[in-house]
Amino acid sequence: MEFFDYFILITSFLLLIIGVVGSFIPVIPGPIISYLSLVLINLITKDFTFITLLIWGLIVIIFSMLDNVIQLFGIKYYGGKKLAFVGSIVGFIFGLLIPPLGFIIGTFLGGFIGALIENSQNTKKAFRIALGSFIGFFVGIFLKMLISFYFVFQYINILKKLF
């Protein structure tokens, strides 16, 4: 292997790590970055065909779109609107500042506050909306983690072949 090959391996590995972290953080498109990691490593290994990479690319796009739709579905299912969605995202971001459980509490609390603003007279409904937002948010994280860890598995298999 040449210097350029090692550079690709290291860059690909860093993208893979960022992709896995991005599965948790809404601002970072985790599965997309994990996918780019495999596309990059494929430049030197040629383990995957163009069709395989294309199919994975489409799956990543679908998963990325589903991530937002699932959380919105959870909110809408329980009667929530835009503020509950925005509140859960803002709560998550603030919750990241309070590890290890801050993002869980922040997501729920932010969704609850947003839903409470929309439904000031009905705390029970606001609680259900926040619960729907919370469930939808974590189902989306689970899906993003699933695909990102699949790419980690593929990366490890490639490394086994190389070394």
Q: Is 124 exposed, middle or buried (0-12, 13-18, 19+ CB in 10 A)?
A: exposed
pLDDT for residue 69:
86
Using an 8 Å Cβ cutoff, are 155 and 41 in contact?
Answer: yes
Q: What's the confidence (pLDDT) of residue 59?
A: 94
pLDDT in tens, the chain (163 residues): 799 999 999 999 999 999 999 988 877 899 999 999 999 999 999 999 999 999 999 999 998 888 878 878 888 888 888 888 889 889 988 888 887 788 788 989 999 999 999 888 889 999 999 998 888 888 988 999 999 999 999 999 999 998 8
| pTM recorded for the entire structure | 0.81
The stretches of 1-122 forming alpha helices (DSSP H) are 3-22, 30-45, 50-77, 82-95, 102-118
> Cβ of 51: how many Cβ atoms within 10 Å?
8
Q: Are 6 and 41 in contact (CB under 8 A)?
A: no
pLDDT value of position 57: 96
